[in-house]
Amino acid sequence: MRDKLLSLPRYQKHMITLAVDTLSIWLALVLAFSVRLGWENFYDRYQPLFITLLLLAPVVSLPVYIRFGLYSAVLRYMSHQVLLTILKATVIAVLALISVFYLFGIDSMPRGVTILYCCFSGLFLSLTRYGARQWLRGYKLMDVLKIIFSIQPVTSHKKVNKAYGIPVLIYGAGAAGVQLAEALNKSREYHPVGFMDDNVKLKGRVIMGKRVYHVASNIDQVIRDTEAEEILLAIPSLSRTQRAEILRDLESSGLPIKTMPGLSDLASGRLMIQEIQAVDIADVLGREEVKPIPELIDKHIANKVVMVTGAGGSIGSEMVRQALLRKPKMIILFEHSEFNLYTIDQEMQRSVRLNNLDVRIIPLLGSINDPGRMLDVMQRYSVETLYHAAAYKHVPMVQHNVSQGLRNNVLGTLYTAQAAIVAGVKNFVLISTDKAVRPTNVMGASKRLAEMVLQSLSKEQSLRLYHPEFYKFQPDQLIQNQTIFTMVRFGNVLGSSGSVIPVFREQIRAGGPVTVTHPDINRYFMSIPEAAQLVIQAGAMGDGGDVFVLEMGKPVKIIDLAKRMIVLSGLSVKSDENLDGDIEITFSGLRPGEKLYEELLIGDSVTGTEHPKISRAYEEFLSWEELKGVLDEMNETLHGHHYIVTRELLLQYVNGYQPSSAVVDWLYKQPETEEEL
């Protein structure tokens, strides 16, 4: 019946509501006369007046209700604010009825009856609407009556879970928690059964019919009392350190812990309640983000033409988002993946429209290994600032595809940098990695070589290009170099493609096991937005050839991260000590080229900068002419898949390179004779 009623045309729903309100008006009149004058006597004494009221009251009142919009609201999503509207409409309707009686000379109602009628009619208008809202949300009629008359939540665990959504405790009884509860009450995905808060003054109080529990209470008892199945965090104003402490306190509950979307996103409709998500792993780590320095973050972006290579990747897309906030004249999205380019372009175009920005977005397909394409783009749009995020970053992939990793990461960076020099780009920022420091794999070595390329170029005021024919120059032709090259080195970012976080989350969702390569492996982590902001600020401090290092905090053991993600999902770790656990952690062994820990510096030559989380490092590099010779040698080895020779070149020229595995490229063949080397 509920579904049939919801499927009716709108005018039929209005007719039903008008009929119910008419019955409510009549019932209010009967009760008002009965309570004031007695059920046995009022009809005999006031029969003409009562019949007149039965006819006139709906005729006068219903237009007033219509004028106040009581038939425009969608009952399923009606908020408590409608009660004030009902009060106003009821008072105006009663005054209008009294005025009609006065104008037409009809005997007026007794004052006591008038007051009671006003109270009863307002009460019935409220109860019918509130009851209808609960019934349409899926409650049974008996449960609606319980809620209306006892103001108590439904206590049947199974019924709550199946009919009214997942029973949840809301952590945070402040404004955010109340707004979240109101939003949940309009949905059928979650059903709030109580609040938790660290404010002692709120302990035992009732908010929206739900009890507030203090965090120091026995959490197991709270869960038994409320029959909650999940905990939702509604504490947007707290720092990451405070959130991390709260999460540690809640882990013992054994319930999944989730976070709410931002209230501004909920209010604007950009996010739905269905998008309540697992706890942000950045909250688990408790890493505090430093606010950007406005002068630095705006310096090379505001009112400038900005280009981002790899614009559809994890880091590149965030660079684009951060750049858009600085209001450049134009952002050029350069990406070789059509789908990734389409996705980030649609997001940026939507942001421009929603925020009424005067920023032009140019989505361009292309490869960084196509020098002519790169040069055409930079010259056509007069690029001023370029962030080079395009790279192959996954260690095992590059380890098994040596030639493509080196060509993309080294030669792609070189071709892009040379195009920037020819086009007169003022600032070029390379996004590097901590894996470039004493690398044990080809990916790290390729990124260190890319850094060395930019270091060499930055020392040349004029130079002869590598493969000048790609730019339509002669071999001996000198090109003036006015581009400032900067490199920014940092560790892992949370949630990037291929990182352990989404992998662990999917493994937990599938029931395990969670695979960790080694029990002692650790990594540095920071959020993608923080990394992007620091990259932009570091780039603004570059003088030419600078290698900037971002402060990554303390390294995190991957096995500890896996355990916390399992616990925060409401599950337990299966181990020798807990054979009845839910998710097992297994060790797969270090992958080719992988090492137990990462570093950010090769040597000890490091100084601070004006930003507390950015340092400047001084690293050794080759001269430009010497480097060109190395690149020629490397290219020759790649053409014939002579990766043993490639490795020897990397060992010779990349400081600290120590390969941790044999050559595992899929096209590599073990040489049978010495001549084949």
Is the pLDDT confidence value at 482 over 50?
yes
- Share of the chain residues as helix, strand and coil, in percent rounded to the nearest 5: 50, 15, 35
What pLDDT score was predicted for residue 306? 97
Mapped to the 3 state alphabet, what secondary structure does 220-258 carry? Answer: HHHHHHHCCCEEEECCCCCCHHHHHHHHHHHHHHCCEEE
- Asked if 154-279 and 294-617 have one fold, the answer is yes
Pick the CATH number of 154-279 from 3.40.50.2000, 1.10.10.10, 3.40.50.720, 3.10.129.10: 3.40.50.720
Confidence of residue 575 (pLDDT cuts 50, 70, 90): confident
d(CA 659, CA 439): 7
Selection from 216, 220, 192 nearest residue 206 by Cα: 192
Query: Do you know the residue count of the chain?
Result: 677
Is the pLDDT confidence value at 330 over 60?
yes
Confidence of residue 43 (pLDDT cuts 50, 70, 90): low
Most confident segment among 74-83, 203-212, 269-278, 627-636? 627-636
Is the pLDDT confidence value at 583 over 80?
yes
Q: Which of 250-259, 340-349, 472-481, 644-653 has the lowest mean pLDDT?
A: 250-259
d(CA 138, CA 518): 49
Q: Which strands sit side by side in the sheet containing 514-516, from one edge to the other?
A: 514-516, 583-587, 573-574
d(CA 448, CA 437): 7
What pLDDT score was predicted for residue 118? 86
Facing residues of 195 across strands? Answer: 170, 212
Average pLDDT across the chain, whole number: 82
Is the pLDDT confidence value at 174 over 60?
yes
Is the pLDDT confidence value at 213 over 90?
no
Burial zone of 7 (CB within 10 Å; 0-12 exposed, 13-18 middle, 19+ buried): exposed
d(CA 427, CA 536): 11
Facing residues of 309 across strands? Answer: 334, 388
Say which residues have a Cβ less than 8 Å from residue 310's Cβ, sequence separation at least 6. Answer: 316, 334, 335, 388, 389, 390, 391
Is the pLDDT confidence value at 184 over 50?
yes
* Domain boundaries along the sequence of the chain: 2-146, 154-279, 294-617
What is the C-alpha R_g of the chain? 34
pTM, full prediction: 0.69
Mean predicted confidence (pLDDT) in 573-590: 87
Beta pairing, strands 206-207 & 210-214: antiparallel
DSSP string spanning 581-598?
A: -SEEEEE--PPTT--S--
Residue, of 429 and 498, whose pLDDT is higher:
429
What pLDDT score was predicted for residue 78? 53
What pLDDT score was predicted for residue 524? 77
Residue, of 487 and 599, whose pLDDT is higher:
487
Q: What's the one-letter identity of residue 485?
A: F
Is 591:602 a contact under the CB 8 Å cutoff?
A: no
Most confident segment among 55-64, 408-417, 534-543? 408-417
Residue, of 170 and 346, whose pLDDT is higher:
346
Mean predicted confidence (pLDDT) in 609-637: 91
Is the pLDDT confidence value at 486 over 70?
yes
What pLDDT score was predicted for residue 585? 93
Pick the CATH number of 294-617 from 2.40.50.220, 3.50.50.60, 3.30.70.270, 3.40.50.720: 3.40.50.720
Is 359:329 a contact under the CB 8 Å cutoff?
A: yes
Task: Using alpha carbons, list the distances in angstroms from residue 426 to 33, 382, 473, 648.
Answer: 86, 10, 21, 36
Most confident segment among 160-164, 328-332, 574-578, 669-673? 328-332
What pLDDT score was predicted for residue 156? 37
**Strand ranges, E, within 249-326:** 257-259, 277-278, 305-309
Q: Which of 166-170, 213-217, 431-435, 605-609 has the lowest mean pLDDT?
A: 213-217
Selection from 389, 382, 386, 337 nearest residue 363 by Cα: 337
Mapped to the 3 state alphabet, what secondary structure does 2-33 carry? Answer: HHHHHCCCHHHHHHHHHHHHHHHHHHHHHHHH
Mean predicted confidence (pLDDT) in 250-258: 79
Angle between helices 314-325 and 338-354 (to 10 degrees): 20
Is the pLDDT confidence value at 270 over 60?
no
Q: Which of 272-276, 371-375, 508-512, 669-673 has the lowest mean pLDDT?
A: 272-276
What pLDDT score was predicted for residue 344? 96
What pLDDT score was predicted for residue 49? 77
Is 251:225 a contact under the CB 8 Å cutoff?
A: no
Task: Using alpha carbons, list the distances in angstroms from residue 489 to 5, 124, 369, 645.
Answer: 61, 67, 22, 28
- Interval 363-408: pLDDT, tens: 999 999 999 999 999 999 999 999 999 999 998 999 999 999 999 9
Within 10 angstroms of residue 470's Cβ, the number of other Cβ atoms is 17
- Interval 113-167: pLDDT, tens: 788 888 888 888 877 777 776 666 555 555 555 555 544 444 333 344 445 678 8
Say which residues have a Cβ less than 8 Å from residue 606's Cβ, sequence separation at least 6. Answer: 549, 615, 616, 617, 618
Whose structure tokens read 């000048």?
468
Task: Using alpha carbons, list the distances in angstroms from residue 234 to 231, 266, 289, 427.
Answer: 10, 13, 20, 42
Selection from 428, 427, 424 nearest residue 481 by Cα: 424
Most confident segment among 6-15, 474-483, 519-528, 664-673? 474-483
Whose structure tokens read 């790169």?
374
What pLDDT score was predicted for residue 287? 62
Mean predicted confidence (pLDDT) in 229-253: 76
**Strand ranges, E, within 519-588:** 522-523, 525-527, 546-550, 556-557, 573-574, 583-587
DSSP H/E element including 212 = strand 210-214
Is the pLDDT confidence value at 562 over 70?
yes
Q: What is the dihedral of CA 659, 664, 666, 670, to 10 degrees?
A: 110
- Interval 284-321: pLDDT, tens: 665 666 778 888 999 999 999 999 999 999 999 999 99
Q: Is the peptide bond before 513 cis (omega within 30 degrees of 0)?
A: yes
d(CA 505, CA 643): 36
Is 120:27 a contact under the CB 8 Å cutoff?
A: yes
